[in-house]
Chains A and B, each alone.
Chain A
Amino acid sequence: MFNQRMLSILKRELKDKILSRTFIVMTLLVPLFMVIILALPTYLMTMDKNDNFNITVITENNKIADNLKTELGKIESVKEGKSRIKFLVKDENGLKEYLKENKQKILNENITGVIYLPKKSAADKRLKFYSNNPNNKNLFNQLKGSFNQVLTDNYFSGKNLSEKDVKYARTRVFFDSFRISKDASIKAESKGNRIISFLLTFLLYFSLIYMGTMVMRSVVEEKNSKIVEVILSSVSSKELMTGKILGAAITGLLQMIIWLTPLILLISTSIFIIPAEFALQIDMPLILYFLFNFFIGLITFLGLFATVGSIFDNDQDAQSGIWPLMMLVIIPFFIAIAIQDNPNNSIGYISSMFPFASIIVMPAKMSLIDVPLWQILISVVVNLGTMFGIFILAGKVYRVGILSTGKKPKWSEVIKWLKYKY
C-alpha cells in the first residue's frame, strides 16, 4: 500500500490542496474568526453594563430612602443623568395604587421597574421587583451592591459595631480556585484554560468537518469527471484512497500547526506576556498529544467522508448522505463544550474513551484537568483501533463505490458491497 504509486497520488493531493486558494484563505481567516468568537461575548457584556434604566424605589420610611439616594447616586449612569431613580415613600396599599396608575408606563418600558422594600426587608433583605421584564439580571447586578450596603448598614446601625465588623458583614464569600496536578505543585487556576479548551475543541471540530467535506468533494469530482478509471489502471483503489486521505490529513495537520503556532510560542517562549488571570496550564506534551490525536482523527473521519463521496456521483446527493457523519462530529463537540463546567461528569468520562467521541472530547478534557494516564492510553488504543477498522471497511465500500454509476444506491446495497469480491 505504501509504495511509489501511492506517493504519486499523495504528492498530487498535497500540491492540489496546499496551493489552492481556499487553503490559504482558510488558514488566515480562521484565527481571525476565533478572535471574533472569543472577543464577542466580552464585548457584548461591556455593552450590557451601560444599559440605562428608569426605576422607582418605594420604601416605607424616609431614612432608608435617604441612604439609598446617596448610595445609588454613586452608580455611573445615574451620576451622568442617563439613568433616573425616583424615590417614593408608600405602604403596601400605596404601592398597589402606584402600580395600577403607572401600568401603561411599565408595559411600554418608560419605567424599567418598581422596587419595593417592605418593612420586613430590613430584617431579611428580600425586596420586590415589578417590571415588564422581571428577570433583568443586568439591572440586579448593577443595583445589588448598593441595596445590600444600605440594608446591612441599616441593620447594624445602633448595634454598636465597629466599621470593620460592618465591612466584614458586607463582604460576600469568594472562591479562589487552584488546580492540583500530579506532577507540579499547586497552581492558581485561571480562565485561560477554559478559553484554550474551547479553542482547541472548536479548531478540531471545524477542521474535521472542513477537511472531510473537501475530501468528499474531491472523491465525487473524480467520479463525476470520470478520472477514476484512468487512475485505477495505474494504482489500486486502496492506494488511491490511502494517497488521497494521507494527502488531505497532512494538509490538515499543517494547517493546524499554523493555527497553533501563536499558542506554541506563548507557552514555549516569553515573547508574549499574558495577565495572570489568563495564565495557561497547558504544556508542550498536551499540544503534541493534541496534534497526534488530531491526525488519527482526521484519517478516521476522512476515511468515512471519502467513503460517502464514493457512494454518490454528485455533490448534492453526497451532501445529503453525510449527515450521519456530521452527527459523529457534532455530538462530541457539544459534549466537549458541556464538560467545561465539570470535566469529570459521567458523560465526559465515558465519551472521552468512546470511539469517535474520544477524538474530540479527550483533548478538551485534558486541557481542563489532569486525566489519568490509563484513560489517555485507552483513548489512544480506541482511536487507533477505530482508525484501522474504518480504513478496512471504507476501503471495501470505496473500491465498489468509485466505479458504480447511475442511480443513487440504497444503504442496504452499500452494506452488500462489503461482501463483494472485487
Chain B
Amino acid sequence: MNILEVKNLYKSFDTIKAVDGVSFNIKQGSVFGLIGRNGAGKTTTLRMMMNIYTPDSGEILLNGKHIDNEFKKKVGYLPEERGLYKKMTVMDTLLFFADVKGKKGADIKRKANEYLERFDLADRKLTKIQDLSKGNQQKIQFIATILHDPEFLVLDEPFSGLDPINTDLLRQIIIDLRDKGKVIIFSTHLMDFAEKMCDYITMIDHGKIILDGNLSELKAQYAKKNVSLNYEGDISFLKNNSMIESIDDFGNTTGIRLKSASDIQELLKLLVNNNVTVKKFDANDISLHEIFVLLAENNEVKEEKNV
C-alpha cells in the first residue's frame, strides 16, 4: 500500500528548474532511496516533502491527504546541511529536539539515555556539543532525529562524516527501524549504500525522474547484457572485441557490458582461452552504480540534443 504519494512536483528558483515534474510512491515498511548526482534536485524534493518549501505545483499525499505541519511530528528529518546548538549540553539538545516534536517527559529521557548508551555516549550527557568530536556530534544529531519515534525517517546523505564502525551502527539502527514498520526515505549519491539498503529506488537527474522501481526488478531489467567479473590476468584483448560495448573498472570488480545478451557464453569461453583466471563471473548482476552512470550519461546526451 502506498503510504506517501508524490505527484507532479515542480519547483523553480528564478530561471532554474530545480524539480521538474517529479512523481513517486512510497510503500509502508520499505526503504526508499532517492538517488542522483549533486544538484540533481534531491534536497529540493525532500524539502518540499518536509513542507519547508512550497511546491510551484503538484501535491504530496499522506494516506491520500495533503501533508501539513502535523506531518512534521511524524517525521524524523536528517538534512544534508545539519548542525546543533554548540553551547547546549547533549541531554538538553536531545530533549529540545523531542520537545519541538511534541514529545517530553520521563519516557523520552529514558529513551535518550538508552540511545546514548547504545552509541557509547552515556558519559557525555552534560558535555556541551562544542566539546564533542565531529563524529560524536553526528551521532547526537542522529539520536535527535529518531528520539521522538517517528513513523517516517528522512535521511539526506546520512553517512557523511561517520567512521566505518559508526556507519555500521547507524545502518543496523536503520534496519531495526525498518523492521519495526517505519518508512525510511533516504537520499544519497553513494550508490553502494543505496544498493545495500534500499528496496525501492528513484533516480533523479536535472530535476526529472529517470529511473523508478523495485531495486531487484530494476537490476534484473538492466542486468541481462551485463557481466560482473573478478579475475587475475590481462583482459586488455577485450577492448577491441566487436561484441563488447563497454568495460568499467570498479576496483574489485570489472563490469562488462555486451552488445547482445546472447554473447555471454562466448565471453566466458574467450576469457578461459586467453588464460585469464576467472574468480567470479556473474552474468546476472549489474551494480546500481553502473545503472546510474549509464542512465546519467544517456540523459546527458538527451539534454544536449534538446539544447
Q: Is the CB of A225 within 8 A of B56?
A: no
Contact (Cβ within 8 A) B54 A225: no
Task: Pick the residue among B69, B83, B88 that contacts A230 (CB under 8 A).
Answer: B83
B179 to chain A, nearest CB (A): 24
CB distance from B268 to the nearest CB of A (A): 51
The yes or no answer to A421 lying at the interface (CB within 8 A) is yes
B100 close to A (CB within 8 Å): yes
The answer to whether B51 touches A236 (Cβ under 8 A) is yes
Contacts of A66 in B (CB 8 A): none
Question: Does B81 sit at the interface, judged by CB under 8 A?
Answer: yes
Pair A9/B100 contact, Cβ less than 8 Å: yes
Q: Which residues of B contact A233 (CB under 8 A)?
A: 50, 52, 72, 75, 77, 79, 154
In Å, the complex CA distance between A421 and B56 comes to: 7
Q: Is the CB of B86 within 8 A of A225?
A: yes
Closest to B84 in A: A227
Task: Please indicate the chain B residues that have their CB under 8 angstroms from the CB of A422 in the complex.
Answer: 53-54
Q: Are A225 and B84 in contact (CB under 8 A)?
A: yes
Q: Are B100 and A231 in contact (CB under 8 A)?
A: yes
Q: Let me know if B102 is at the binding interface, CB within 8 A.
A: yes
- Contact B100–A226 (Cβ < 8 Å): no
Q: Could you tell me the distance in whole angstroms from the C-beta of B132 to the nearest C-beta in chain A?
A: 13
Closest to A404 in B: B13
A155–B97 Cα distance when bound, in Å, is 89
Residues in A4-60 with C-beta less than 8 Å from chain B: 4-5, 8-9, 11-12, 16
Beta-carbon contact of B56 and A229 below 8 Å: no
Q: Judge whether A229 and B79 touch: CB under 8 Å.
A: yes
Is the contact region of chain B dominated by helix, strand, or loop, or is it mixed? loop
Out of B51, B82, B144, which one reaches A229, CB within 8 Å? B82
A227→B100 contact, CB < 8 A: no
Whether B99 contacts A11 by the Cβ 8 Å rule is yes
Is there a chain A Cβ closer than 8 Å to B231's Cβ? Answer: no
Beta-carbon contacts under 8 Å, A233-257 to B:
233-237
The reply to whether the CB of A64 lies closer than 8 angstroms to some CB of chain B is no
**What's the Cα separation between A235 and B52 when bound, in Å?**
9
- In the complex, which residues of chain B have a beta carbon less than 8 angstroms from the beta carbon of A12? 85, 96, 99
Q: Is the CB of B54 within 8 A of A227?
A: no
Q: Which residues of B contact A236 (CB under 8 A)?
A: 51, 69
Knowing A8-B100, A11-B99 are in contact, say whether A403-B83 is a contact too (CB < 8 A). no
Q: Do B87 and A8 have beta carbons less than 8 Å apart?
A: no
A237 cross-chain contacts in B, Cβ below 8 A: 52
Q: How far is the CA of A403 from the CA of B50 in the complex (A)?
A: 14
A4 to B103, CA, bound (A): 10
B54 x A232 contact (CB < 8 A):
no
Given the interface contacts A4-B102, A9-B100, A421-B56, does A229 sit within 8 Å of B81 by beta carbon? yes
Instruction: Establish whether residues B50 and A8, one from each chain, have CB atoms under 8 Å apart when the complex forms.
Output: no
Report yes or no: B100 in contact with A232, Cβ–Cβ below 8 A: no
B101 interfacial by beta-carbon distance below 8 Å: yes
A402's nearest neighbour on chain B, judged by CB, is: B52
Q: What chain B residues lie within 8 Å of A9 (beta carbons)?
A: 100
Q: Hey, which chain A residues are within 8 Å of B75, CB to CB?
A: 233
Chain B residues lying within 8 Å of A226, measured Cβ to Cβ, are 79, 81-83
User: CB-nearest residue of chain A relative to B49?
Assistant: A233
Contact of B52 among A221, A232, A421 (CB under 8 A): A232
Within 8 A of A (CB), among B119-152: 141, 144
Number of A-B residue pairs at CB separation under 8 A: 71
Chain A residues positioned under 8 Å from B87 (CB to CB): 16
Residues of B within 8 Å of A4, CB to CB, are: 102
The answer for the CA separation of A12 and B97 in the assembled complex, in Å, is 10
Q: Which of B69, B73, B77, B85 contacts A227 (CB 8 A)?
A: B85
Contact at A421–B77, with CB atoms within 8 Å?
A: no
Interface centre among A234, A421, A422 (most CB of B within 10 A): A234
B54→A229 contact, CB < 8 A = no
Collect the chain A residues with CB atoms within 8 Å of residue B78's CB: 230
Within 8 A of B (CB), among A383-422: 403, 405, 421-422
Contacts of B101 in A (CB 8 A): 234
Residues of B within 8 A of A227 (CB): 82-85
- Indicate which residue in A229, A234, A403, A405 contacts B97 across the interface (CB closer than 8 Å): A234
Most buried by B among A231, A232, A233, A405: A233
| Bound Cα distance A229, B53 (Å) | 11
Once the chains are docked, how many angstroms separate the CA of A39 from the CA of B144? 53
Establish whether residues A230 and B56, one from each chain, have CB atoms under 8 Å apart when the complex forms: no
Least Cβ–Cβ distance between B237 and chain A, in angstroms? 50
Chain B residues with Cβ under 8 A from A421's Cβ?
54, 56
How long is the Cα–Cα vector from A236 to B101 in the complex, in angstroms?
12
Within 8 A of B (CB), among A198-234: 221, 225-227, 229-234
Minimum distance in angstroms from B83 CB to a CB of chain A: 4
**Could you tell me if B53 and A230 are in contact, using CB atoms closer than 8 angstroms?**
no
Q: Are A235 and B100 in contact (CB under 8 A)?
A: yes
B72 and A229 form a contact (CB under 8 A): no
Q: Which residues of A contact B144 (CB under 8 A)?
A: 230
Q: A259 to B98, alpha carbons, bound, how many Å?
A: 36
Question: Within the complex, what minimum Cβ distance (angstroms) separates B97 from chain A?
Answer: 7
Q: Which of A9, A226, A227 has the most CB of B within 10 A?
A: A227
- Please measure, in the bound complex, the distance between the C-alpha atom of A221 and the C-alpha atom of B144, giving whole angstroms: 19
Contact with A along B59-85 (1 / 0, CB 8 A): 000000000010011010111011111
A225 with B99: in contact, given A232-B52, A233-B72, A233-B75 (CB under 8 Å)? Answer: no
Contact with A8, one of B51, B53, B99 (Cβ below 8 angstroms): B99
Contact with A along B40-57 (1 / 0, CB 8 A): 000000010011111010
Interfacial chain A residues near B56, Cβ < 8 Å: 421
What's the minimum C-beta distance from B185 to chain A, rounded to whole angstroms?
12
CA distance A237 to B86 in the complex (A): 21
Assess whether B82 is in contact with A230, with CB atoms less than 8 Å apart.
yes
11 extra A-B contacts, CB within 8 A, seeds A4-B102, A16-B87, A225-B85: A8-B100, A11-B99, A225-B84, A225-B86, A226-B79, A227-B85, A231-B100, A233-B75, A233-B79, A234-B73, A234-B100
Instruction: List 11 A-B pairs, Cβ < 8 Å.
Output: A11-B99, A12-B96, A16-B88, A225-B84, A227-B84, A230-B79, A232-B52, A233-B79, A234-B101, A236-B51, A422-B53
Q: Chain A: residues with CB nearer than 8 A to chain B?
A: 4-5, 8-9, 11-12, 16, 221, 225-227, 229-237, 403, 405, 421-422
- Which 10 residue pairs across A and B have the least CB separation, nearest first? A233-B77, A226-B83, A225-B83, A234-B100, A229-B79, A8-B100, A8-B99, A226-B81, A227-B83, A232-B52
